[in-house]
A = this chain, B = another copy of it.
């Protein structure tokens, strides 16, 4: 088997099993590289061969981790959606107790933090257009998330916490537009960390820019 890099890599990994942090790459690394490549080239234009090349490994070593690029896409979208859905769950958005405006503020702040923490994953999610079953399923979950945030905007509207002169549907869309734009221009490592960005975003959304 000498000289067969593919087999050598896979063997190395198998040997390292049980202590995956020491392996030359693990599923997390594979996923990070896959997501970066999907975002750069587009999912359709990215093959398992390209990913193997980027990782400096072989296709067969990659197949040790995943069944194919479809699984990588599914895992990546699931990670972004799972984090966003967890924010909604944590907000107690499903029960009807408590102040809807406070829950909305919690969700907006949490969504900004997820965008920053999972920037490439959410970027991928926001570019999904529904060309495959995996993408259509992700779009369905994304619409469900948007719908639940919209319901929160409506509830805050109904309880009188939000201005009565603004339509909740338009308000929700403008809010998502502002928050989702963060993936286009925010780069981690600058002067503004995730918490400061979340504060600024929520503050603009709820209180506006005008000095009083």
Contacts and interface: CB of A to CB of B under 8 A. Distances in A.
Interface of A: 101, 160-167, 170-171, 173-182, 184-186, 192, 197, 200-201, 203-212
Q: Give how many copies assemble into the complex.
A: 2
A162 B212 CA distance: 8
Given A178-B178, A180-B177, A206 B209 contact: yes
Nearest to A186: B173
A177 B184 contact: yes
Interface of A is mostly: helix
A200 B172 CA distance: 12
A167 B211 contact: no
A163 B160 CA distance: 24
A43 B105 CA distance: 40
8 nearest A-B residue pairs (beta carbon): A177-B181, A208-B208, A178-B178, A207-B208, A206-B210, A177-B178, A162-B209, A173-B185
Given A164-B211, A173-B185, 20 more contacts: A160-B211, A162-B209, A163-B211, A163-B212, A166-B203, A170-B192, A171-B204, A171-B209, A173-B186, A174-B178, A174-B181, A174-B200, A174-B201, A175-B209, A176-B181, A177-B179, A177-B180, A177-B181, A181-B181, A205-B208
Contacts of A210: 101, 161-163, 206-207
